[in-house]
């Protein structure tokens, strides 16, 4: 399977757009990791077209809270329909097992001993301050952390979350993650 891990940062926040719909926001930076080629690509919003060919070759898009947030927002910019590509949302799998949502940072610390280096609100501030390189580094770090958590879950069938002073093992059913869905008429941005 060709997995592409992705994450987005935004130029604004929900309270500024008076909506909880992710498509009301604007992308500042997008980061992807092509697991087959071991290649990271991080771009600003006006360079999004450079990542479409990589995304279009994916058997599955992997993210954290991606079905609710990242995928709908990215699809707003994509000239086709990204919802026809298999989507693996690690947070959805955790919530199914644990019964609640858990921050990526908390899962990463307990599972792989790594953490994020900032947060989405800081990324919005950096955008306004013109600190694009800081946003790119942060987004790429989020993608790396997500990829490591994904690999861990895929290999071990669980992640860990901190509960009190201990890390709790949360089983994750990854069997569907390994199944190749047949493409269902994906509209590509490039001719094939």
Sequence-distant (≥ 6) Cβ neighbours of residue 156 within 8 angstroms: none
* pLDDT at residue 51 is higher than 80: yes
- Kindly give the residue spans of alpha helices, DSSP state H, lying in 19-103: 52-56, 71-77, 90-98
**Contact yes or no for 60/174 (Cβ under 8 A):** no
CA distance 51 to 31: 9
Q: Is 135 helix (H, G, I), strand (E, B) or coil?
A: helix
Residue with tokens 């450079």: 50
Sequence ranges of the domains in the chain:
3-176
CA distance 89 to 92: 5
A 10 A CB-CB count for 18 gives 8
DSSP code of residue 50: G
> Given this model, what pLDDT does residue 130 score?
94
> If pLDDT is split at 50, 70 and 90, which confidence band does 156 have?
very high
**How is residue 86 written in tokens?**
């298999």
Mean pLDDT value of segment 149-174: 94
Mean pLDDT of the chain: 91
The topology under which CATH files domain 3-176 is Nucleotidyltransferase; domain 5 (3.30.420)
User: Which region, left, alpha or beta, applies to residue 105 given φ > 0 means left and ψ of -120 to 50 means alpha?
Assistant: alpha
pLDDT tens-digit profile of 10-34?
A: 999 998 999 999 999 999 999 999 9
> Given this model, what pLDDT does residue 181 score?
78
> If pLDDT is split at 50, 70 and 90, which confidence band does 189 have?
low
The model's pTM is: 0.91
Cα-flanking dihedrals φ and ψ of residue 88, to 5°? -115, 110
pLDDT tens-digit profile of 169-180?
A: 999 999 999 998
pLDDT tens-digit profile of 67-116?
A: 999 999 999 999 999 999 999 999 999 999 999 999 998 999 999 988 66
DSSP code of residue 99: S
> Given this model, what pLDDT does residue 184 score?
47
* pLDDT at residue 185 is higher than 50: no
Percent of the chain topping pLDDT 70: 92
């Amino acid at each position: 399977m060709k997995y592409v891990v992705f994450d987005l940062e935004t130029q604004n926040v929900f309270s500024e757009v008076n909506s909880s719909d992710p498509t009301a926001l604007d992308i500042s930076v997008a980061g992807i990791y092509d697991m087959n080629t071991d290649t990271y690509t991080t771009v600003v919003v006006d360079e999004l077209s450079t990542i479409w060919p990589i995304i279009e070759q994916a058997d599955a898009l992997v993210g954290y809270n991606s079905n609710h947030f990242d995928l709908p927002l990215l699809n707003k910019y994509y000239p086709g329909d990204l919802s026809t590509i298999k989507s693996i949302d690690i947070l959805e799998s955790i919530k199914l097992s644990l019964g609640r949502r858990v921050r990526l940072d908390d899962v990463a610390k307990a599972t792989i001993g790594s953490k994020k280096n900032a947060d989405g609100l800081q990324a919005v501030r950096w955008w306004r301050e013109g600190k694009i390189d800081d946003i790119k580094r942060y987004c790429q770090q989020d993608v790396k952390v997500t990829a490591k958590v994904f690999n861990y879950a895929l290999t071990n069938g669980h992640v860990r979350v901190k509960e009190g002073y201990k890390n709790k093992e949360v089983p994750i059913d990854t069997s569907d993650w390994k199944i190749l869905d047949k493409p269902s008429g994906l509209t590509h941005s490039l001719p094939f």
